[in-house]
Amino acid sequence: MKQSLTPNFITKDFPKDEESYNARILVRAGFVQKVMAGAYAYLPLGLLVLRRIEGIIRKHMDKLGREIIMPQLHPKDSWETTGRWDSLDVLFKVISNDKKEYALGPTHEEIVVPIAQKAIFSYRDLPMALYQIQTKFRDEPRAKSGLLRGREFIMKDLYSFHTDQDDLKAYYQRVKEVYHDMFKEMGLDTKLVAASGGTFSKFSHEFQVLTETGEDTIVICPSCGFAQNKEINDAKEGDICPECGKKIEIKKASEVGNIFELNRKYSDPFNLTYKDNNGVEQPVYMGCYGVGVSRLMGVVAELFHDNKGLIWPASIAPFDVHLLELFGSDEKENKEVTKQAEKVYNALQENNISVLFDDRRESSPGEKFSEADLVGIPVRLVVSKKTGDKAEYKRRGEEKASLMSVEEIIKMITTS
To the nearest whole angstrom, how small is the minimum distance from the Cβ of residue 227 to its own copies? Answer: 33
Give the integer Cα–Cα distance in Å for 46 and 54.
Answer: 12
Identity at 204, one-letter amino acid code? S
C-beta of 237: minimal distance to its own copies in Å? 36
Measured between alpha carbons, how far is 280 from 275 in angstroms, rounded to an integer?
A: 5
The CA radius of gyration of the chain, in Å to the nearest whole number, is 25
Closest CB 171 distance from its own copies, rounded Å: 14
**Shortest reach from residue 163's CB to its own copies, in Å:** 15
Shortest reach from residue 69's CB to its own copies, in Å: 4
Spatial distance between the Cα atoms of 162 and 169, rounded to a whole number of angstroms: 9
Torsion over CA: 12, 17, 23, 24 (sign): positive
Between residues 226 and 319, which has the closer beta carbon with respect to its own copies?
319
Comparison of 79 and 312: residue with beta carbon closer to its own copies: 79
Q: Which amino acid, one-letter code, is at 186?
A: M
The set of residues, in sequence order, having a beta carbon less than 8 Å from that of 207 and lying 6+ positions away, is 179, 180, 183, 190, 191, 192, 193, 255, 256, 257, 258, 259
At closest approach, how far in Å is the CB of 258 from its own copies?
A: 23
| Closest approach of its own copies to the CB of residue 214, in Å | 25
Q: Which CB sits closer to its own copies, 119 or 240?
A: 119
Q: Which CB, 68 or 224, lies closer to its own copies? A: 68
Between 42 and 327, name the residue whose CB sits nearer to its own copies: 42
Pairing of strands 101-104, 73-75: antiparallel
- CB nearer to its own copies: give 74 or 305: 74
Specify the residue, 75 or 397, whose C-beta has the smaller distance to its own copies: 75
Provide, rounded to whole angstroms, the least separation between the CB of residue 8 and its own copies.
6
> Residue 65: which residues within 8 A CB-CB, separation 6 or more?
128, 129, 130, 131, 158, 159, 160
What's the half-sphere exposure (Cβ side, CA atoms, 13 Å) at 115? Answer: 16
Q: Within 10 Å of residue 306's Cβ, how many Cβ atoms?
A: 11
Instruction: Name which of 128 and 192 has its Cβ closer to its own copies.
Output: 128
Q: Which residues of this chain interact with its own copies, rule CB under 8 A?
A: 6-9, 11, 33, 35-36, 39-44, 46-47, 50, 66-75, 89, 92-98, 104, 111, 114-116, 118-120, 124-125, 128, 130, 135, 137, 139, 141, 151-152, 362
Q: What does the CA dihedral 263, 268, 270, 274 come to, rounded to 10 degrees? A: 80
Task: Give, in degrees to the nearest 5, the angle at Cα 394 between 391 and 398.
Answer: 165
Q: Cβ of 273: how many Cβ atoms within 10 Å?
A: 16
Minimal distance, residue 71 CB to its own copies, in Å: 4
Measure the CA–CA gap between 284 and 301, rounded to whole angstroms: 40
Instruction: Tell which residue, 315, 312, 335, 316, has the closest CA to residue 325.
Output: 335
Of residues 69 and 280, the one with the C-beta less far from its own copies = 69
Burial (CB count <10 Å: 0-12, 13-18, 19+), residue 269: middle
Q: Nearest distance from residue 74's CB to its own copies, in Å?
A: 7
Taking a C-beta distance cutoff of 8 angstroms, is the pair 157, 259 a contact? no
- Of 33 and 217, which CB lies nearer to its own copies in the complex structure? 33
Instruction: Decide whether 223 or 346 has the Cβ nearer to its own copies.
Output: 346
CB of 312 to its own copies, least distance (A): 19
- Neighbouring residues of 205: CB distance < 8 A, sequence distance ≥ 6: 176, 192, 193, 194, 195, 258, 259
